[in-house]
Amino acid sequence: MSEKLNQLKEILGEVADLRNAGAVLGWDQQTYMPQGGSDARGHQLGTLGKLAQIKFTSDEVGQLLEDLKTEFAGVDLADDDAALIRVTARDYEKAKRVPPEFVVESAIVTTKAFDAWMEARQKSDFSIFRPHLEKVVELTKRYVSFFPPAEHPYDTLLDDFEPGMKTADVKVIFENLRPKQVKLLQQIAAAKQVKDDFLYGKYNEKKMDAFSVGIATQFGYDWTKGRQDRAPHPFCTTFSVNDVRITTRFEKDNPTAMLFSTMHETGHALYEMGSKQEFDRTPLMGGASLAVHESQSRMWENLVGRSFAFWEHFYPQFKKLFPAQLDGVGLKAFYKAINKVEPSFIRVNADEATYNMHIMLRLELEIGMVEGSIEVKDLPEIWNAKMNDYLGITPANDAQGVLQDMHWSGGAIGYFSTYALGNIVSAQLWEKINKDLPHLDDEIRKGKFDSLLGWLRTNLHVHGRKFDPQDLVQKITGSKIDSAAYVRYLTKKYSEVYGL
């Protein structure tokens, strides 16, 4: 290894340490930090973020990258070191445009915003969160101004989460997908509806948690390198390949949501744990993009966790835990219930057929806020109108509507479209996986997931951030991100569930 590459890796390791220390504080903020600690936490996160930004955007790093680009010119793009230089250079060029002082300000503003969001959501009062969100949107517009003008100002934000993707690209994918999903929803609405009232009874929280933990273990989550805690909004966070943590929550009015939440976050964690050990403390650690990341969480939650084969194995155990709640409920009835299609207010609990509608709504709102055509003060009213337009229902309060997601409080504007893109990618991968593993259903039916996880580790997880997401999806599936496989998946599944 060249001396300059060693020097670069040493600096990148220190940058990663600072950022991961910040991530630990962010995890603590959402799990165990007392409410009174938010002001101090904002400054702590700001200081760590500033130090990381200064170190990463130093002239020394810039010169090392320039020298290494020359040194590695012509080297295979798939080479780990060449990829490290390429990905780091891209991150460096973007980070160089953002002043360290802005990083500090953002940390302080978003920490306070998250605290306000939690209070606002609890009280179902958007006015508590509004001034904080206005500051977040103002910061977002300033962030965009640091970069050269793009075709659309939202492009700059989207690129942070989905490298290379343009707003116009997402709109085309969604415009192609929406009418097909609407048609399917109309067919389902005309069919005999599914009974699911037994899912909403009183379920023991500790038993549900224990069952969820058992599923995560079966999937392959390594508890010596992770843990699960409670959070207002479930998430996964990574401090290293060997420390990847997940969170969940229990909803009294929707108790099985905890199970699917744990499956979802486990999917994220398995991806992070699957990066090469050599990528730890470098920019190659982690997922190729948020869409590819979501493909993993949505795959384990839905394509595996809501499949009939899965419950053929696990339903007897589940029913034994909750005999009173599931008395007289057979396997097929339970399977149909957990896959019931019904417009709902809360995105994370939405069924697969309506989920993307939630995402399309949020994308429109984010674009409007960034463009300036939508003001923060009008969000609740616009949200409710769009919910009625997209799903035919209107939230009764702010907690059911505009306050349900935490992402805007953290400044993650530009993020939401990746959820729907992740659904699409999950189906593309699933078709390829089932061609390569023709007996996968039989293995899932036996509660075995080694082959599936092994395939993902070999074909996807191991690459970390080496490849751009579109190139990675094409490398694995033979096609760039395309909704055709997802439409096939939804149509087949719900035709069986509803007898279409």
Nearest to 108 by CA among 13, 41, 28: 41
Residue 368 token pair: 């409007």
Q: With the CA atoms of 239, 240, 242 and 243 taken in that order, what torsion angle do they form, in degrees rounded to the nearest 10?
A: 10
- Positions annotated as catalytic residues are 265
Residue 449 token pair: 């997931």
How far apart are alpha carbons 427 and 365 in whole angstroms?
Answer: 26
Burial of 187 (0-12, 13-18, 19+ CB in 10 A): middle
Enumerate long-range contacts of 436-439, CB under 8 Å, 24 or more apart: none
What end-to-end distance do the CA atoms of the chain give, in Å?
60
- Residues in contact with 335: Cβ distance below 8 Å, sequence separation at least 6, in sequence order: 308, 311, 315, 497
Q: What are phi and psi of 245, to 5 degrees?
A: -115, 150
Nearest to 329 by CA among 202, 200, 445, 198: 198
Q: Write the DSSP assignment of 447-462 as a string of letters.
A: T--HHHHHHHHHHTGG
Residue 27 token pair: 């995890």
How far apart are alpha carbons 197 and 341 in whole angstroms?
Answer: 13
